Amino acid sequence: MSELKLERADVMAKLMAVRGDALIIAGLGSPVWDVASSDHKPENFYLWGGMGCAVSMGLGCALAQPDRKVWVVTGDGEALMGVGSFATVASQRPANLAIIVLDNEHYGETGMQRTSTSHGTDLAAMATGAGIPTALAITDMAGVDGLAAALTSGPMPLVAVVKIAASKPNLVLPPRDGVYLKNRFRQAVLGATDAMHAG
Amino acid sequence: MADPWTVEAHRLFKKHGIKTVGYVPDAGLTDLINACDADNDIKAVVMTTEEEGIGLSSGAWLGGEKAAVLMQSSGVGNTVNAIASIVSSCQFPLFMIVPMRGQYGESNPWQIPMGQATAPVLRSLGVRVYEVDTEEDAVGAIENGLKMAFVSNAAVAVLIGQKLIGAKSFIADVAEEVTHV
């Protein structure tokens, strides 16, 4: 097990500084609070459920919006549940999709039980094995700086697994109403008229 | 003679602006999957599990595009929480075509329980289920299901019966000779 030292809030601050107009899908659990506390805006879709679906949702969005970057920000438990999606992403090779896994090696919302990554499972290696061309394993702030550079101008798709401390996140809760979250995201991306009449 | 439902389904995908088609294969879907794969205006996405189709479809809608999801009836069991938690909570449109197993003339007993459960499970999740057994009904259900899904933010599944697609005779389809031990 690697030494866990990065703080999630510090990582998020570095990444959000280079966000630009990237769209964000936040995976169930602490990453939702992380994204809400670091850069709350309509271009964030917060998953309050559907564990294991953040990556496939990001893929669907990235394929629909090829000219915009799409970031999936999720945790190790959520990523493990939908880990087959690494293969699905690899087979599509979307050049605008980044998957950022904040890996604290624990299920944070259910009582801090250990995940498989605390027992040796290597999510970055799984991404590589799935065929993701750029898979980064990050354990220190220099690595986070490298990730920020990759998010700005590096090749995608990429998976970045950032090892972080199992400390408490800033509990900043975004709205929970799924219909509202969906419509505000679509309005921000498509404009008000297309968002409501594109059927 | 009218074109088979698979040809019509591809035509209807184009007519209704379906841009992404996520699938986990089934023998009954082969022609439709091949048509989508060969179509440069459709992103055909092979998935590792049917649950990904729910994320894919919802994510496409967030980005302003329509997606369809194809899977065998057994795969419906893999979509349950994603449909309930994401599609129902957010009222995402969802359009699925589901060829049936374990329903009519099935020769693999392991397919029968999920085949029997497919329609009730979908209905329990609030999905509108169209069960079809003829070419004509299949085409009508796909056309109307596409309309309802994307104009009315509904979740729709068209279940293609084994009466229409035939029950797989299993090993005899792929081997010259079958040996039982």
Q: What is the 3-state secondary structure (H, E, C) of B10-61?
A: HHHHHHCCEEEEEECCCHHHHHHHHHHHCCCCCEEEECCCCHHHHHHHHHHH
What is the pLDDT, as a whole number, of residue B180?
Answer: 87
Residue A2 lies in a domain: no
Q: Output the domain CATH number for residue B54.
A: 3.40.50.970
Q: What angle do CA B125, B131, B134 make, to 5 degrees?
A: 165
pLDDT string in tens for chain A (199-residue length): 445 589 999 999 999 999 999 999 999 999 999 999 999 999 999 999 999 999 999 999 999 999 999 999 999 999 999 999 999 999 999 999 999 999 999 999 999 999 999 999 999 999 999 999 999 999 999 999 999 999 999 999 999 999 999 988 889 999 999 999 999 999 999 999 999 887 6
Note the pLDDT tens digit of each residue in B6-24.
Answer: 999 999 999 999 999 999 9
Query: How far apart are alpha carbons B12 and B39 in whole angstroms?
Result: 13
A189 vs B contacts (CB less than 8 Å): 62-64
Smallest CA–CA distance from A198 into chain B, residue? B64
What is the pLDDT, as a whole number, of residue A50?
Answer: 98
ipTM of predicted assembly, 2 dp: 0.96
Q: Chain A to chain B, count of Cβ pairs less than 8 Å apart?
A: 140
What is the pLDDT, as a whole number, of residue A1?
Answer: 46
Residue B168 lies in a domain: no
> Any idea which residue has 């009904």 for tokens?
B137
Cβ separation B59–A62 shorter than 8 A: yes
**Six-digit token pair at A112?**
């801090």
* DSSP designation for B84: I
**Six-digit token pair at A38?**
């670091």
Is residue B69 scored above 80 in pLDDT?
yes
Cβ separation B64–A64 shorter than 8 A: yes
Q: Output the domain CATH number for residue A182.
A: 3.40.50.970
Cβ separation B47–A56 shorter than 8 A: yes
pTM: 0.96
What is the pLDDT, as a whole number, of residue B127?
Answer: 98
Note the pLDDT tens digit of each residue in B91-115.
Answer: 999 999 999 999 999 999 999 999 9
Percent of chain B, pLDDT > 90? 90
What is the pLDDT, as a whole number, of residue B172?
Answer: 55
Residue B49 lies in a domain: yes
For chain B, how many structural domains are there in total? 1
Residue B176 lies in a domain: no
Residues contacting residue B144 through CB under 8 Å, at least 6 positions apart: B130
Domain that holds residue A17: 8-197
> Which chain B residues have any C-beta within 8 angstroms of a chain A C-beta?
19-20, 22, 43, 45-49, 51-65, 67, 81-82, 84-86, 89-93, 150-153
What is the pLDDT, as a whole number, of residue A199?
Answer: 64
B92 vs A contacts (CB less than 8 Å): 182
Q: Which residue has the higher pLDDT, B177 or A86?
A: A86
Residue B177 lies in a domain: no
Query: How far apart are alpha carbons A154 and A138 in whole angstroms?
Result: 16
Domain that holds residue B156: 5-107+115-162
For chain A, how many structural domains are there in total? 1
Residue B172 lies in a domain: no
Query: How far apart are alpha carbons B167 and B104 in whole angstroms?
Result: 7
B89 vs A contacts (CB less than 8 Å): 48-49, 178-179
